[in-house]
Chains A and B, each alone.
Chain A
């Protein structure tokens, strides 16, 4: 059984650019959630996708957007990057429905200069 994978591992962008991060969910999982973790903080919920539809969003501006594909993999897109977007971006997958164990990927470290 393959776990949650994310790409790329690290990324350096400049302010104003756009970035796309990718996540492959664990086999059998149809729900993907994205979190942003700033240095020294706990992860903050960005949004969740369930069966290709957005299923809830945290307190993040519209320049954070996402997609989920038929194979349940997902993308996180961030437009007009700001310095404060520098963080570890984590995705987590779960089987969906009521509370289940949620498994996280290794994360993508984004640095905005």
Chain B
């Protein structure tokens, strides 16, 4: 089984609606990264969370880290076509402290007009 599970695997949302993507770990999260990927391209850095309870926002995207639940969520408010893509969470699961990341399988987000 995957050490890092993302849900849902895919999401179709009407433009303007809010959505949440979850990332759950089977191990302690020492650092959690969120990336966005367009099909077949590189990963675009969104946010990094390190401490339990930490919450960061950038434009209409907010990410939270629940250390006790070993879970992170990514919330998009008032979705736009530009938000479409694959969202990946990556985590340091061994407290290496040097960004050797384990990734989930991704959530494919489609925005419909």
State yes or no: do A and B come from one complex. Answer: yes
A97 at the interface (CB under 8 A from B): yes
Q: State whether B105 touches A99 (Cβ < 8 A).
A: no
B47 closest partner in A (C-beta) = A101
Whole-angstrom distance between the alpha carbons of A99 and B100 in the complex?
9
Whole-angstrom distance between the alpha carbons of A35 and B102 in the complex?
10
- B106 interface neighbour in A42, A58, A107, Cβ under 8 Å: A42
Q: State whether B48 touches A101 (Cβ < 8 A).
A: yes
Known contacts: A104-B45, A107-B42. The answer to whether A92 contacts B99 by CB under 8 A is yes
Q: Give the residues from 78 to 100 in chain B that come closer than 8 angstroms, CB to CB, to chain A.
A: 88, 90, 92, 96-100
Contact size range, B: 20 to 34
Chain A residues near B50 (CB-CB < 8 A): 99
B41 closest partner in A (C-beta) = A106
Contact size range, A: 20 to 34
- B45 interface neighbour in A33, A48, A99, A101, Cβ under 8 Å: A101
Chain A residues near B101 (CB-CB < 8 A): 33, 35, 43, 45, 102
Q: State whether A43 touches B90 (Cβ < 8 A).
A: yes
Known: A43-B103, A104-B45, A107-B41. 10 other contacts (CB 8 A): A33-B100, A42-B90, A43-B90, A56-B98, A96-B98, A99-B30, A99-B99, A102-B33, A106-B42, A109-B40
